[in-house]
Structure 1
Amino acid sequence: MNRITVLGFEGAFNLPIWVGHRQRHFEKHGLEVSLEYVKGSVDMVNRLTSGTAQIALTSVDNVLAYRSGQGETANGSAPDLVAFMGGDHGFLSLMSRPEITAVSQLRGKTLSVDALTTGFAFLLREILAANRIALTDVAFDAAGGTGNRYRALVAGKHDGTLVRTPFERLAEGQGCNVLVSGKSLFADYLGTVGAVLQSWACRNRAQLVGFLLAYREALNWIFDASNGNAIVEILRTEFAQLTRDDARAVLDDLVDPAHGLIRDMEIPDAGLALVSRIRDSHALVPTNGPFVDCVDRQYLRLAQQAAGWSR
């Protein structure tokens, strides 16, 4: 068995990994895959570049940022980093403390992000701009990944943050409010991608193709309606506070054909262009080079040509 460590963030979008373990899809392809949650995007990039992990499930904005030297690690750069598969469309919601019921009430408040200039930080700025809230009207606090931000929000440490499913439903259960749903504003947004260092991928082509095939099998299992009850139980196992009804609603979001998990695992150029435009609108300097440079589809194409893909 070849070992692959996958880095990610807390959230229901990790369902293909959990299913892959339970249904032994990874094992079928000779892989022992472990999923480890990172503190934030800086920790993620540091671990990839140090070789202690091989794959990351992360915002495509992180790939754009580090590819062009605009990240927040010591040197801000990971020029070897590329996206090799599409994951999802974000599942993002802007949440607030119970007493805040409108985006306009965020003026003078503190909002938390993973990192200040990567990930979904610029999407949050885009939402604020759409609601005529200047950056000088709010304070930003780098608080790490989604789970950390959710816990800080319900503890009253911040006034608002972007969270990803199922944390919007968990936060609502704690009295917090959904102010904006990302899909209502950005229909083509590209959220999670699979990212890898090109140098590792080139040396481990068979392992990466095997990972893609196993992930595809997990997605097919998830999109099979007959597995719905089993998936609800998986979600409730991973998130103990999730009610059965909320777990069913999360599953509906995950398999939404327009806004859910990307079943064909493609990386849509429209989504890339949108993320790139938002980054260039708010970054101090534009990203260097065309956004398509951060994508390497050769491994996905090899997987798609394999016999196991067509199912």
Structure 2
Amino acid sequence: MRARRVGPLRWVAGLAAVMLIVAGCGSGATPAAGGGGSAPGGVRTIKIALGATTAASIPLWVGIDKGIFAKHNLDVQMITLSGTKAPPALASGSVQISDSGISDLAGAIVAGSPITIVGTTYPFQFFRMYGKKGMTSPSQLAGKTIAASSAGSASDTAIESAMAASGLQRGKDYQVTFIGDNGARSAALEQGVVDAIIVSPPTAQLVEQKGFPDIADLISDKAPYGYSSFGVLKSWAADNRAELVDFLSAYAEAVDASRTDTQAASAAATKNLNLTDPAVVADVLKVSVAVMPAFPSTDVATVAATTKLSQNPAVVKADPSSLIDNSFVDEAKKKGTAGGS
């Protein structure tokens, strides 16, 4: 069964729910839609909604911990709104950036949200599929159920890649159910609620440690895919261009720091991803910050490779170039703040 397109009225209803969630998660007054707000001394606040709790956020945590954002007079704060809940939070002004998959952001855009993608921080597949113990292949999922985050999310669209060689068709030969963040999917597999899950590091490593078989490794192939991207309201970006460029410059520094300061990156992963095994931490860094671009330009081909996997016909038909704006990253590059590329 193909997911239905989310129309404008449903998108607005979802936005109202997200506003309530963000209001409960944030601290202090909610900023107006025009900007992130300024603290005394000219510090600019940028709130980021994370679409998932994964290793792709390590540079953001390192940037906060090492004072890199603060050096640029930025107070970066993050909350988690899993799956497709993050992009609608932009319209409320409760957050200024949605760190989400291209599929999530594209879904919001085609539903009428005035969002644009200004950077893709992890431009490859960042998922592995795990099945019940004893499974060895996705072809064994005939008549079974796979868990993803939410309809139209990055994990949802990645299932198409994971199942491509199985010969099985979604909705006919297997079903997809939506149960939330990586942790919820892991618990569902452990409890036998579902037959397979698709998850990102570090959940992938933790699930494997518990003896569940990796039946589709999309990470090793590094296939083009917009796993993690920065989305912003076009109006906010236009009104706060210097702030956004400064953020992207600082982000580039944070990526460089995550690569060169292993202690800081390991500490950020340990604290924010609740990891305790040094071997897991090392593997997580190897598949995340080691391959993430400092300046996260978005390639049109990456957008196309992502949107073609969507269950939403409007996303599939969307012109990839209409979804992105690389001018902010290009300006950050010209500033030459970071030493990486």
- Tell me if both proteins adopt one fold, taking TM over 0.5 as the criterion: yes
Q: Offset at 1:118?
A: 3.7
2:231 alignment partner in structure 1 = 195
Q: For residues 68 and 322 of structure 2, what CA distance do their matches in structure 1 show?
A: 31
Matching residue within 321, 324, 335 for 1:292:
321
In structure 2, runs of 5+ residues without a counterpart are: 1-42
- Under a length normalisation based on structure 1, what TM-score does the superposition of the two structures give? 0.88
1:277 aligns with 2:311: no
Number of paired residues?
A: 295
Residue range with higher mean Cα deviation, 231-240 or 205-214: 231-240
Matching residue within 136, 155, 177 for 1:101:
136
C-alpha contact 2:127 2:158 (8 A) present in aligned 1: no
Alignment of 1:1-311 (within 5 A): 1-8=43-50, 9-41=52-84, 43-69=85-111, 77-78=112-113, 80-88=114-122, 89-135=124-170, 136-184=172-220, 187-224=223-260, 227-256=261-290, 260-279=291-310, 282-285=311-314, 287-310=316-339
Q: Given residue 223 of structure 1, which amino acid in structure 2 is its aligned partner?
A: R
Query: Structure 1 runs of 4+ off > 6 angstroms?
Result: none
| CA-atom RMSD in angstroms | 2.0
Q: Given residue 263 of structure 2, which amino acid in structure 1 is its aligned partner?
A: N
Structure 1 pair 117/251, CA: closer, same or farther in 2 (3 Å)? closer
Structure 1 pair 20/186, CA: closer, same or farther in 2 (3 Å)? closer
Structure 1 pair 289/40, CA: closer, same or farther in 2 (3 Å)? closer
Q: Given residue 262 of structure 1, which amino acid in structure 2 is its aligned partner?
A: P
Q: For residues 176 and 119 of structure 1, what CA distance do their matches in structure 2 show?
A: 22
Q: For residues 59 and 220 of structure 2, what CA distance do their matches in structure 1 show?
A: 25
C-alpha contact 1:113 1:144 (8 A) present in aligned 2: yes
Q: Given residue 215 of structure 2, which amino acid in structure 1 is its aligned partner?
A: L
C-alpha contact 2:102 2:307 (8 A) present in aligned 1: no
Q: For residues 209 and 320 of structure 2, what CA distance do their matches in structure 1 show?
A: 39
Structure 1 pair 138/49, CA: closer, same or farther in 2 (3 Å)? same
Residue range with higher mean Cα deviation, 106-115 or 125-134: 125-134
Q: SS of the residue aligned with 1:34?
A: strand
C-alpha contact 1:61 1:276 (8 A) present in aligned 2: yes
Q: For residues 151 and 130 of structure 1, what CA distance do their matches in structure 2 show?
A: 27
Q: For residues 285 and 292 of structure 1, what CA distance do their matches in structure 2 show?
A: 15
Q: Given residue 142 of structure 2, which amino acid in structure 1 is its aligned partner?
A: R
C-alpha contact 1:38 1:44 (8 A) present in aligned 2: yes
Q: Offset at 1:114?
A: 1.7
Q: For residues 308 and 130 of structure 2, what CA distance do their matches in structure 1 show?
A: 24
C-alpha contact 1:170 1:242 (8 A) present in aligned 2: no
Q: For residues 198 and 141 of structure 1, what CA distance do their matches in structure 2 show?
A: 33
Q: Offset at 1:180?
A: 0.9
Query: After superposition, what is the alpha-carbon deviation per residue over 1:237-295, rounded to whole angstroms, capped at 9, x for unaligned?
Result: 22334411111111111244xxx31223121222122113323xx44456444111100
Q: For residues 2 and 286 of structure 1, what CA distance do their matches in structure 2 show?
A: 34
C-alpha contact 1:114 1:146 (8 A) present in aligned 2: yes
Q: For residues 21 and 82 of structure 1, what CA distance do their matches in structure 2 show?
A: 25
Q: SS of the residue aligned with 2:232?
A: strand
Q: For residues 189 and 117 of structure 1, what CA distance do their matches in structure 2 show?
A: 14
Q: Offset at 1:176?
A: 1.5
Q: Offset at 1:189?
A: 2.4
In structure 1, runs of 5+ residues without a counterpart are: 70-76
Q: For residues 185 and 29 of structure 1, what CA distance do their matches in structure 2 show?
A: 36
Residue range with higher mean Cα deviation, 184-193 or 25-34: 184-193
Q: For residues 174 and 5 of structure 1, what CA distance do their matches in structure 2 show?
A: 35
C-alpha contact 2:53 2:273 (8 A) present in aligned 1: no
- Under a length normalisation based on structure 2, what TM-score does the superposition of the two structures give? 0.80
Structure 1 pair 12/146, CA: closer, same or farther in 2 (3 Å)? same
Query: After superposition, what is the alpha-carbon deviation per residue over 1:193-240, rounded to whole angstroms, capped at 9, x for unaligned?
Result: 11111111111112211111111110111122xx22342233222233
